A = this chain, B = another copy of it.
Amino acid sequence: MYLTQGLHRMLQMNPAALATVFRGRRRSYGELAARVARLASGLQGLGMQVGDRVGMLGLNSDHFLEYMLGTWWGGGVLNPVNIRWSVPEIVYSLDDCDTRILLVDDNFLHMAEGIASMAKVRPVLIHAGDGPAPAGMLSLEQLIHDSAPIDDMARGGNDLASIMYTGGTTGRPKGVMQSHLNLWSSAVGRMAEHNITPNTSVLHVAPMFHTACMARVVTQVIVGQPHVFVPTFDALDVLRTIESEKVFDILLVPTMLQAMIAHPDFGKYDISSLKRLTYGASPIAAPVLERALELMPGIEFQQGYGMTETSPVISISGSENHSAAGIANGRVRSAGRPALCVTVRVVDEAGIEVPRGTVGELIARGPNVMLGYWNRPEETAEALRDGWMHTGDGAYMDEDGYLFIVDRLKDMIVTGGENVYSAEVESAVAGHPAVAACAVIGVPSEQWGEAVHAVVVLKPGLEVSSEEVIAHCRQRIAGYKCPKSVDFVNALPISGAGKVLKRELREPYWKDRKHGVN
């Protein structure tokens, strides 16, 4: 199988069917395929050879999809650039996998010079609009127009489809090698279990460089349904687009949903076409879910849990958990059950499966598991053992196969012989009305081995003492889980992917010791 196959199928069956919608610009599958066949040739003209990595630094748009399909059609490999990263991080990821071509869209021109001065690759500035390109830029329309269409190279199966850079909270980003089979099997397996409704459109609002949105794009290409794009999340833009394009399915992170339903103009838009909302990154908070169900009755919620290394879905929590019953039985906090064709186990350090309800490391195996990390045999061997992806996530499984993620294992604190999951403590600390953000880490303790320590950012103008924070926690979680100490800071160190860099928080405490900083 190969990831442009669905494009050929639509070209054969229904070339007039709607393929892409962006800012009112609508193209059919026939038009999309014709553009892709030319763009592939244009990319080859820019130097792309079979297997070469092609990066794109851009916001969501129909052009981003054309970049994906054009690269694959021409035999290349994607390296979509994390738009949240700084120039040095981007340069690292480009150089690490010898990216041959980097396309930069109009939105990121300000970064191009910095990248050009540091990276091995020379950025190609793409002017996506009509009319001639400004000086120093390449007109995408001109490139497509001037390039003769070529046959699909039809790379597929275990051939590399993308190198997605991930991590950064624990060191240098790693390039996750996803094959065509990885992405295809994840998409098709998901569809097999969670019915895709024919002739419905999906709105791509989460960033397309990210594995979650890319997986949704791949799905829509395989089934040949319409893609609708907004460049980046904006609650009003999303509401407007759902109404105007009768969007059926959307992929969000919970904070986007929150912003959407909290928007003062929420009620002014007819979003009754929206029937499914898939979200990832973390379980949804019960009050947000309740409000969303109230405002959007009949909508089906679906949580996908996974990671780039699993292309990406490991488990799915369906609508049965996103209901009054799911809130009551606690399964709204679950990451769901193993996706079709993904085998999941929760194991101890020796790799032995632990009893249900016991926390261990979640490992997963299936056709969706990455080929490995680019040029990192040691990290690959560490992550992939006998085909099992070791997620690093601490989790337990209940009697019915529902998974509950408790923490990153490396963020787990062992204090006085007890395991404390920082995520649980953070949830308790964050419940204090004066707390804007927090992170909980383990710090060295003569008495406890590690002691629970909270780092807190206060809301503007509010104050609270360490004692008050700890007392607040004591009413919510067991005593041994409560912070023994609290630091107040102005901001938490955040990675390009938006995750708290606990490594940096831990460093001053552990710098003279071996354990604890990773």
Identify which of residues 1-19 in chain A touch chain B, using a CB-to-CB cut-off of 8 Å. 1, 5-6, 8-9, 12-14
Q: A185-B1, A192-B191, A196-B192 are in contact. Are A13 and B223 (CB under 8 A)?
A: no
Smallest CB gap from A356: residue in B: B12
Q: How many copies of this protein are present in the complex? A: 2
Cross-chain contact B13 with A337 (CB below 8 angstroms): yes
Contacting residues of chain A (339-384) with chain B, CB-CB under 8 angstroms: 340-341, 343-344, 366-367
Contacts of A184 in B (CB 8 A): 341
**Which residue, A185, A188, A401, has most C-beta atoms of chain B within 10 A?**
A188
Q: Does A446 contact B (CB under 8 A)?
A: no
Known interface pairs A188-B192, A195-B195, A341-B222. Does A401 touch B367 (Cβ–Cβ under 8 Å)?
A: no
A9's nearest neighbour on chain B, judged by CB, is B338
Interface status of A189 (Cβ within 8 A of chain B): yes
* A340-B12 contact in complex given A188-B189, A192-B192, A195-B195, C-beta closer than 8 Å: no
- Which of B1, B400, B401 is the one whose CB lies under 8 Å from A366? B1
Given A1-B185, A14-B400, also A222-B340 (CB < 8 A): yes
A193: interface (CB < 8 Å): yes
Nearest-CB residue, chain B, relative to A386: B154
Asked if A338 meets B188 with Cβ closer than 8 Å, knowing A5-B343, A223-B193, the reply is no
Enumerate chain B residues within 8 angstroms of A340, measured Cβ to Cβ. Answer: 6, 9, 188, 222-223
Q: Which A187-215 residues have C-beta < 8 A from chain B?
A: 188-189, 191-193, 195-196
Contact A192 B223, CB 8 Å, known A13-B400, A400-B13 = yes
Check B341 against A1 for contact (C-beta < 8 Å): yes
CB distance from A490 to the nearest CB of B (A): 46
| A6-B13 Cα distance, complex, nearest whole Å | 33
The answer to whether A8 and B401 have CB atoms under 8 Å apart is no
**Distance between Cα atoms of A400 and B10 in the complex (Å):** 10
> Are B12 and A401 in contact, CB atoms less than 8 angstroms apart?
yes
Interface size on A, residues (CB 8 A): 32
Per-residue contact bits, chain A 398-426, to B (CB 8 Å; 1 contact, 0 not): 00110000000000000000000000000
Cα separation A337 to B10 with both chains bound (whole Å): 11
Q: Is A444 an interface residue (CB 8 A)?
A: no
| A343 and B9 contact, CB distance less than 8 A | yes
CB-nearest residue of chain B to A345: B12
Nearest CB on B from A338, distance (A): 6
Residues of B within 8 A of A6 (CB): 340-341
What chain B residues lie within 8 Å of A1 (beta carbons)? 185, 341, 366-367
Within 8 Å of chain B (Cβ to Cβ): is A149? no
Assembled-state Cα–Cα distance A12/B9 (Å): 37
A5 contact from B157, B192, B341, Cβ within 8 A: B341
**A367 contacts across to B, CB distance below 8 A:** 1, 157, 181
The 7 A-B residue pairs whose C-beta atoms are closest, nearest first, are: A13-B401, A191-B192, A195-B195, A1-B367, A192-B192, A188-B192, A12-B401
The chain A residues found within 8 Å of chain B, CB to CB, are 1, 5-6, 8-9, 12-14, 157, 181, 184-185, 188-189, 191-193, 195-196, 222-223, 337-338, 340-341, 343-344, 366-367, 397, 400-401
